[in-house]
Amino acid sequence: MGESAPGRTVDVKVMTYNIQAGAGSDGKYNIQRTAEAIRQSEAEIIALQEVDVHWGARSLFENDIEILANELDMNYFFTPIYSLDPLNEGEPRREFGVAVLSKYPIIEANNRDITRLSTQEPNPVPKPAPGFLETLINVKGAKVWFYVTHLDYRSDPTVRKMQVADMLQYTGQHEYSILAGDMNAGSKAPELQPLFEQFTDAWALTNDEPGYTYPALAPNSRIDYIMPTPNIGVKSAKVIDTLASDHRPVIAELTLIRGNQP
């Protein structure tokens, strides 16, 4: 039987990482340090949050996702949450959002709207805005929908509750998928519970430890998740000990089936 024959399985290492716009726990911008943390993890598909693309001085107006993709020799797709006019005419737009890096081909990619409460408007109200990343990735013949998200950070869960409902409208269209990202809430938070009706929690399936990811220097909360649908196998999950960001990344080894219908 050939490598892409139906029924054959393939393992893939998936990571989620809030990179704090390339700044480490020391507050210093060093996108090369970010790249090295990802390289050492040997992750093959990486969900990234807080990605700057020509955004501002804090990241030297650099294109962080392009730098990471080049350093790691990976495919990528970036979805801006915010896309602002440049400070000077003729310069690139200033963008901030989420992204995916992939060792494997990205065969479809979309930037979906979910409810957001803008940090860039003086009197924001919750409304649909871009930045929910949807991709279809071909992992050695196993096609899987891969979603990247970054939910609202505020203590009031109202916006997160709306965001979860919005995300499920998209993810519910596909039976074979992975949702990864910074949920800004613990696993017992009421607003996250609808996610666990459609997805499993890779960490909880394979660990008894709390799995804290934030803040990286002395983590005391688990807010970063990898969530596959129940028809995707979970072999392991771990938190990477690195100070390349203010979050610690989570990595999970998942088992996909070649020849599946995503």
How does pLDDT run across 213-222, given as a tens digit for each residue?
A: 999 999 999 9
How big is the CA angle at 258 (ends 144 and 256), to the nearest 5 degrees? 55
Give the pLDDT band of residue 7 (cuts 50, 70, 90): low
Sheet holding 106-116: strands in order across?
Answer: 106-116, 127-139, 142-150, 177-182, 224-228
pLDDT value at position 1?
34
Distances (CA, A) of 68 to 22, 32, 163, 208, 222: 10, 8, 28, 33, 25
pLDDT for residue 200 is more than 90? yes
Tokens describing residue 183: 């949920």
Query: Does residue 215 have a cis peptide bond before it, meaning omega lies within 30 degrees of 0?
Result: yes
Determine the Cα–Cα distance for residues 151 and 132; give it in Å rounded to an integer: 9
Phi-psi label, residue 7: left if phi above 0, alpha if psi -120 to 50, beta otherwise: left
pLDDT value at position 250?
98
Q: Which domains does the chain have, with CATH numbers?
A: 9-256 (3.60.10.10)
Mean pLDDT of 97-123: 97
Mean pLDDT of 179-184: 98
218-257 confidence digits (pLDDT tens): 999 999 999 999 999 999 999 999 999 999 999 999 999 9
3-state secondary structure 80-130: EEEEECCCCCCCCCEEEEEEEEECCCEEEEEEEEEEECCCCCCCCCCEEEE
**Spatial contact of 177 and 262, defined as CB atoms under 8 Å apart:** yes
- Type of residue numbered 213: T
Indicate the average pLDDT of the chain.
Answer: 96
How far is C-alpha 187 from the chain's CA centre? 17
Phi-psi label, residue 139: left if phi above 0, alpha if psi -120 to 50, beta otherwise: beta
Determine the Cα–Cα distance for residues 155 and 175; give it in Å rounded to an integer: 31
